[in-house]
Amino acid sequence: MTAIRLLLVDDDPLVRAGLSFMMGGADDIEIVGEAADGGAAEELVERTRPDVVLMDIRMPAVDGLTATERLRAREDAPQVVVLTTFHADEQVLRALRAGAAGFVLKDTPPAEILDAVRKVAAGDPVLSPTVTRQLMDHAAGASADTRRAHARGRLAALGEREREVAVAVGRGLSNADIAAGLFMSVATVKAHVSRILARLGLNNRVQIALLAHEADLPDGGPDTAGRKKTI
């Protein structure tokens, strides 16, 4: 099995050393480089072509959110997992809107950080439970009406079946669960997701989920009872 190529970006050398020790011990992960700020990360991505970047937020020169925006704008963009001690709403939302495929707090157990890297590399975005709760709170916040109207306006550009898939993605269902609930093949679900991304100018599944949360649409997806949420 091909190892996941991972780039570590954090301005604290002790944190980088700890992550390198933890991640480097996994047979399926290869550390291809380390950087102390977002600017250096951009240069390393060009040279090392990582599959996943584990990115801190607060760093000198170029911060992690700016770096994430720039990396995700690349044609050959790597997946980005934001790893930080901070989880303020504005940071979470900016990271997700920038295209981060995951947002994991630094106090997350090491095994779960490893699992997050593996899932993101496989195309399954990951959010910590704390972050998921924040998204729910954000959708119900003071300016919810404005956000809801804007999000619903964007989703109106989708066909009925695409909207159903978008709602299901927002509920955290996997492609397999969406396929079962909407009586379609997994390949068809993937095709719908690809069209949703193209139509709405989004670059990953997490951004669909965020938009669906903000739209607060009536339940149009399959039943989630007893099924694991993946976001």
List, for residues 26-70, the tens digit of each pLDDT value: 899 999 999 999 999 989 999 999 999 999 988 888 888 899 989
| DSSP states along the chain | -PPEEEEEE-S-HHHHHHHHHHHHTSTTEEEEEEESSHHHHHHHHHHH--SEEEE-S--SSS-HHHHHHHHHTSTTPPEEEEEES---HHHHHHHHHHT-SEEEETTS-HHHHHHHHHHHHTT--EE-HHHHHHHHHHHTSTTHHHHHHHHHHHHTTS-HHHHHHHHHHHTT--HHHHHHHHT--HHHHHHHHHHHHHHHT--SHHHHHHHHHHHT----S---TT-----
What is the residue-averaged pLDDT of the chain? Answer: 81
Q: Is the pTM of this model over 0.85?
A: no
Residue 133 vs residue 194, higher pLDDT: 194
pLDDT of residue 206: 78
Average pLDDT for residues 119-126, to the nearest whole number?
A: 82
pLDDT of residue 86: 63
